[in-house]
Amino acid sequence: MPGERAVLELLSAAPQRIRQLLLQDGRAAPAVEAAAAAAGVPLRRVSADELAIHLPPTMTRGMVAVAQPPPVLDVEDLLAMVAPEQAAVIVAMDGIQDPHNLGAILRSAEFFGAIGALWPRDRAADLSATVVRSSAGASERLPLARVTNFARALGACKEAGFWVLGTVVDGGVPLKDLIAKDLPERLVVVLGSEENGLRRLTRDTCDFLATIPRHGRIGSLNVSAASAITLSAVCMGTKER
C-alpha cells in the first residue's frame, strides 16, 4: 500500500494486516511515525532502491506498507451487514476498467456514506495498489464485494429489499427530478464502464435510470466524477429523511 494517506488509514483501520512498514531514508513523516508507534507497528528506514523493489517511486512517495489485502466479501456477506429496515446505499460498478476510476469511486462511496461496494471479478479492475492509493484509504474503510455474476448479484440485492438505480449518459430521468420523488431508502447505485456504460442485462435489471443533465458541449463526465455527483444527491437525500 503506497502513499501517506492510505498508510495512515491502514494504521488506523487494520494495523494487524501490516507485515512491513517501510519509510525512505530522509523522508519526514511525523504523522505516520506517530500512528505506527500508537498501533505498535515497527517502522523500518530503507533506501530508495529497496523501496523501489515493492513499487515504483512515483507511487510510493517515500513510503510503503506491505500488508495482507483487505477482506473481499461475497454479495451475501455484504447484504448480511445491513440491518433489517436500515436505510442504506450500495455502490455497484459494472465493469470499471481504470484502477484510478475504481479507487476514486470507492473514495466517493465511503465519503458519502455508502455501506459497501461491489463489482465483477472478470473484465474489471482488480484491487491493486493503484486502486488503494486512488481511494485515499477508503478501501480500508468500505466493505468490498467481488461477484462472479453481476446481474445475479443485483438480483440478490433486490431480494434483500434494495431498489436498483442505474446511471446513464442519456435517456434517464434527470437526477434532481428523481431525487425529488422520494427514492426508496435502500438503493444500489450502478455505474457503467468507461467505454460502454451499463450492459444490456444490467440496464434491464434496474428499477430506475438517472441522467446528470448537461449544459455545456462536452458529451459526458468521467465515471468517477459522475459517481461523486450521483452519490452526493442519493446519499444525502436518504439521510435527510
Query: Domains of the chain (ranges plus CATH)?
Result: 4-67 (3.30.1330.30), 72-239 (3.40.1280.10)
* Low-confidence residues of the chain: pLDDT under 70: 1-2, 60, 237-241
Contact 105, 93 (CB under 8 A): yes
Contact 66, 129 (CB under 8 A): no
Tens of pLDDT along 216-229? 878 778 999 999 99
Report pLDDT for 152: 95
Contact 202, 192 (CB under 8 A): yes
Give how far Cα 47 sits from Cα of 27, 43, 197, 228, Å.
Answer: 10, 13, 44, 38
Report pLDDT for 238: 56
Tens of pLDDT along 18-38? 888 999 998 888 999 999 999
Report pLDDT for 178: 86
Q: Angle of helix 30-39 relative to helix 4-13, nearest 10 degrees?
A: 20
